[in-house]
């Protein structure tokens, strides 16, 4: 049983024991941290236990069980000691008499910064609860841009809250679930934290639509039993294929998660049987060049479907995800989806940014070092221009939600854009001034309208003119927060200048 499964089992049975939970956490951290770090974690637990002593959760359990669970979720990712300590203390400043200065004095500046980053803005007055929540998101995103561990703690915090939603009223459950599906699941996806994203989506779907969730869950259980024989046959043929070519690799069936099935049924307007007719497998190997050898081997075994191959190893996704994807005509014409990757890529695919802690000597990941945080740096730079929190959140959702398309500059550089992006979005990604003076565009050598939707593999060239300036109509067909923000800023300044000129006249 994994750490996550143990945590969920405790939630489901309601059998919480503070000592057992603490021992479980310490057993995990002793497995990858030194004694000095483990002593600091123990000291942080003692402070949190003392601070939260009088408090209870909505379920009636001692409050300390929540920070303990959050710290355990993160320790299972083998995250650094500073983050585990901050997870234990994440509610101390917000909910008890302890101050941030005291936390800094006892545990250092880094821990204090992380705790402050996840502390809500309760001390300020806001017109509405929505305004306060929008500012909380804004604060979290900006702290995350300085140190990504802020949001990793927040994801752990939200995951435990989602696992223990049952005790809340129906209205509150749905509100928290909606927020999780709209904000936290996309952030987990952006950080490549696949396991946490899937759990967010399945728990959120269950809270929002309990009957639909249960119906699909039951249908999946039934289909899995009926499919067992054919899955085993395909696994055997893939393993035999690797053995013939003397390739060492692990072949396993890949399960679709409940919310993913629901989204495909709705988005592609397909029946459950049509979604479950596709068989999914994963092959894990030792090295990158072996991935391509496996690809050749499986293409010799079964015919590939034209246009259904994606190389995310040569061109990784924005969240760092790498893998080869191919779809094959299997036995009896059954479609087979196969992912081929190395063990390190598998770790990255499941835990995303958290996987970097496993490959860093000092256990510290700086968001400035990683290419996949380009989107985060852009949000950080843009936030000072967005005075309206609602507009900031709208831009943030535009950046978080959509799948990516990968397009090329004339020089062959790859640029990542959200699905639904246009040449105008591409121009603003190159540079704000290029976007502002964008008069036209060529896609694959052909002049196209600026509202043309870009597709994977397009080569885009921007035609610029000093006489061209952003138009309000552009806002109707841009898909990136950066383009939207730049256009709005230019239009605002132009209107202001025209008003001043009119006043002078």
Show which residues are catalytic: 94-95
Q: What six digits make up the tokens of 502?
A: 């009119």
Counting other chains too, the contacts that 342-348 makes at CB distance below 8 Å and 24 or more residues apart are 342/284, 342/285, 342/286, 342/287, 342/288, 342/290, 342/291, 343/284, 343/285, 343/286, 345/313, 345/321, 346/282, 346/284, 348/192, 348/320, 348/321, 348/322
Phi-psi region of 60 (alpha: psi -120 to 50; beta: other; left: phi over 0): left
- 460 forms bridges with which residues in the sheet? 443
Of the candidates 210, 207, 228, 230, the residue with the CA atom closest to the CA atom of residue 218: 210
Percentages helix, strand, coil for the chain (3-state, rounded to 5) are 60, 10, 30
What are 83's two structure tokens? 């983050």
What is the distance between the alpha carbons of residues 421 and 405, in angstroms, rounded to a whole number?
8
In three state form, how does the secondary structure of 172-214 look?
A: HHHHHHHHHHHHHHHHHHHCCCHHHHHHHHHHHHHHHCHHHHH
Residues 6+ apart with CB under 8 A from 269: none
Which string of DSSP letters, residue by residue, matches 49-100? HHHTTT-B-TTSSBTTHHHHHHHHHHHTTT--HHHHHHHHTTTHHHHSS--H
Query: What is the rounded CA–CA span in Å between residue 423 and residue 441?
Result: 6
* Three-class secondary structure of residue 360 per DSSP: coil
Q: Are 97 and 51 in contact (CB under 8 A)?
A: yes
């Amino acid at each position: 049983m994994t750490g996550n499964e143990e945590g969920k089992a405790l939630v489901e049975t309601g059998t919480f024991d503070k000592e057992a939970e603490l021992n479980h956490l310490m057993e995990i951290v002793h497995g990858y941290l030194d004694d000095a770090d483990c002593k600091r974690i123990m000291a942080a637990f003692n402070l949190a236990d003392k601070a939260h002593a009088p408090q209870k959760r909505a379920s009636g359990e001692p409050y300390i069980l929540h920070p303990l669970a959050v710290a355990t979720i993160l320790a299972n990712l083998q995250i650094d000691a500073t983050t585990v300590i901050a997870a234990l203390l994440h509610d101390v400043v917000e909910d008890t008499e302890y101050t941030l200065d005291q936390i800094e004095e006892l545990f250092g500046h880094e821990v204090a910064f992380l705790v402050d980053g996840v502390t809500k803005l309760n001390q300020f007055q806001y017109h509405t609860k929505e305004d306060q929540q929008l500012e909380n998101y804004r604060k979290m995103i900006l702290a995350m841009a300085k140190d990504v561990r802020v949001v990793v703690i927040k994801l752990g915090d939200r995951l435990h809250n989602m696992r223990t939603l049952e005790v809340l009223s129906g209205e509150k459950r749905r509100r928290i679930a909606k927020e999780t599906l709209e904000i936290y699941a996309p952030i987990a996806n952006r950080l490549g934290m696949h396991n946490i994203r899937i759990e967010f989506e399945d728990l959120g779907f269950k809270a929002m639509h309990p009957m639909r969730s249960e119906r699909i869950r039951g249908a999946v259980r039934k289909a899995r039993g009926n499919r067992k024989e054919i899955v085993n046959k395909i696994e055997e043929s893939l393993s035999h294929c690797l053995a013939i070519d003397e390739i060492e690799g692990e072949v396993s069936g890949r399960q679709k998660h409940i919310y993913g099935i629901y989204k495909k049924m709705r988005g592609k307007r397909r029946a459950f049987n049509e979604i479950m007719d596709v068989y999914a497998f994963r092959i894990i190997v030792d090295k990158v060049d072996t991935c391509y050898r496996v690809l050749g081997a499986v293409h010799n075994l079964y015919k590939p479907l034209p246009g259904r191959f994606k190389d995310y190893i040569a061109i990784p996704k924005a969240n760092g995800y790498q893998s080869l994807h191919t779809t094959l005509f299997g036995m009896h014409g059954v479609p087979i989806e196969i992912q081929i990757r190395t063990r390190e890529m598998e770790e990255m695919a499941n835990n995303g940014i958290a996987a970097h802690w496993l490959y860093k000597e000092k256990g510290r990941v700086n968001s400035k070092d990683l290419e996949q945080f380009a989107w985060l740096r852009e949000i950080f730079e843009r936030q000072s221009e967005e005075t309206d929190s609602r507009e900031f959140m709208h831009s943030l959702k535009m950046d978080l939600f959509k799948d990516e398309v990968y397009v090329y500059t004339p020089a062959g550089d790859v640029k990542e854009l959200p699905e639904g992006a246009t040449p105008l979005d591409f121009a603003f990604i190159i540079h704000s001034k290029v976007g502002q003076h964008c008069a036209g565009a060529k896609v694959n050598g052909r002049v196209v309208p600026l509202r043309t939707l870009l597709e994977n593999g397009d080569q885009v060239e921007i035609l610029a003119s000093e006489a061209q300036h952003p138009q309000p109509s552009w806002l109707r067909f841009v898909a990136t927060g950066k383009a939207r923000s730049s256009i709005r800023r230019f239009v605002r300044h132009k209107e202001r200048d025209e008003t001043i000129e009119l006043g002078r006249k």
